[in-house]
Amino acid sequence: MIKMIATDIDGTILDWNLGDFTPKLKECIKSLTEAGIKVVLVTGRMHESAMVMAKELGLSTPIVSYQGGMIKEQNGKCLYRKDLDPQKAKEIIKWAKDNNIHINLYIDDTLYVEEDNETIKNYAGVRYVNYKVCPFDKLDIKNVNKVLAIKYNDAESVSKWVKILSEKYPELYIVKSTPFFCEVSNIDAKKSNAVEFLRNYWGIKKEEVLTIGDQNNDIELLKSGGIKVAMGNGTPELKECADFITDSVENDGFVKAVEKFISFPVR
């Protein structure tokens, strides 16, 4: 019996192109909640951004943000946190500056950028987040949630960044979370660790968890589930890890996966 669903957001329950949840998805989430199944958002987004999504879906469960680097209840209580080492964060910032790469810097769930350019406007506009423009050398680089390097419409460059940084910093968690995002985090800031924490917190067994996602950063997410589902629009690498491949996000793949593995009502 499934007691918990741990789901990614972007590309899984939210179509980047549509920018909104489908009516079927909202009804499905409502039915799951009413059936007593814990639906948990597990995302690379910052907590503030994920909170907007949770409220729209009527969820009251804790939110896993920053690829698993933070778990917060919706009242603000932090249950789990794994920050990026300050010195390593400074080195990544220098690497980005030396290579003219745009980065988002997240400190204590606040987003900082050095330039108010089209990259950050594009990013923030579809994620309902605020940001501050400030020279990074004026900031106290500590309590860093993650560093995100972005290059829209250039997936090849982003893949190269992941390779270069992973080889140089094997002690960090570096992952491509969308075709255009390279994320740098604490080695323990993984979706699998966060899901395991919540399973133990609630006394839920691994086989009672369904995990679902679409990108390579969701490989860790799928590992933490008893039933591992990849979206039809998922990456080839993720699909290799899945027990089941559902339909695409635009065709309500999440809903179809729920219909396959869960019978209502479940109490």
CA atoms of 117 and 121, how far apart (whole Å): 6
Q: Which helix (H) or strand (E) holds 263?
A: none
Q: Which residue has the tokens 């990544």?
A: 92
Residue pair 134/112 in contact by the 8 Å Cβ criterion: yes
Among the candidates 134, 158, 186, a domain finishes at: 186
252 class by beta-carbon count within 10 Å (0-12 exposed, 13-18 middle, 19+ buried):
buried
Give the count of domains, the chain.
Answer: 2
What are the backbone angles phi and psi of residue 209, rounded to the nearest 5°? -115, 130
Tens place of pLDDT for every residue, the chain, 267 residues?
A: 999 999 999 999 999 777 789 999 999 999 999 999 999 999 999 999 999 999 999 999 999 999 999 999 999 999 999 999 999 999 999 999 999 999 999 999 999 999 999 999 999 877 678 999 999 999 999 999 999 999 999 999 999 999 999 999 999 999 999 899 999 999 999 999 999 999 999 999 999 999 999 999 999 999 999 999 999 999 999 999 999 999 999 999 999 999 999 986 544
Q: Residue 24 falls within a domain, yes or no? A: yes
Nearest by Cα to 248 from 4, 25, 2, 23: 25
DSSP string, 35-85: TTPEEEEB-SS-HHHHHHHHHHHT--S-EEEGGGTEEE-TTS-EEEE-PBP
Q: Residue 267 falls within a domain, yes or no? A: no
Among the candidates 186, 213, 232, a domain finishes at: 186
Q: Which residue has the tokens 């699909």?
A: 239
Q: What is the CATH number of the domain that holds 72?
A: 3.40.50.1000
Looking at the structure, tell me whether residues 168 and 99 fall in a common domain: yes
Q: Interior CA angle at 72 toward 113 and 21, to 5°?
A: 75
User: Which structural domain, as residue segments, surrounds residue 57?
Assistant: 4-81+189-261
Looking at the structure, tell me whether residues 142 and 58 fall in a common domain: no
Q: Verify cis geometry, omega within 30 degrees of 0, for the bond prior to 265.
A: yes
The helix-helix angle for 253-261 and 23-34 (nearest 10°) equals 30
Looking at the structure, tell me whether residues 248 and 118 fall in a common domain: no
Looking at the structure, tell me whether residues 143 and 173 fall in a common domain: yes
Q: Residue 214 falls within a domain, yes or no? A: yes
Q: Encode pLDDT of 193-246 as tens digits.
A: 999 999 999 999 999 999 999 999 999 999 999 999 999 999 999 999 999 999
Residue 8 Cα distances to 5, 18, 65, 132, 209, angstroms: 10, 16, 10, 26, 14
Residues 6+ apart with CB under 8 A from 137: none
Q: Which residues pair with 10 in a beta bridge?
A: 14
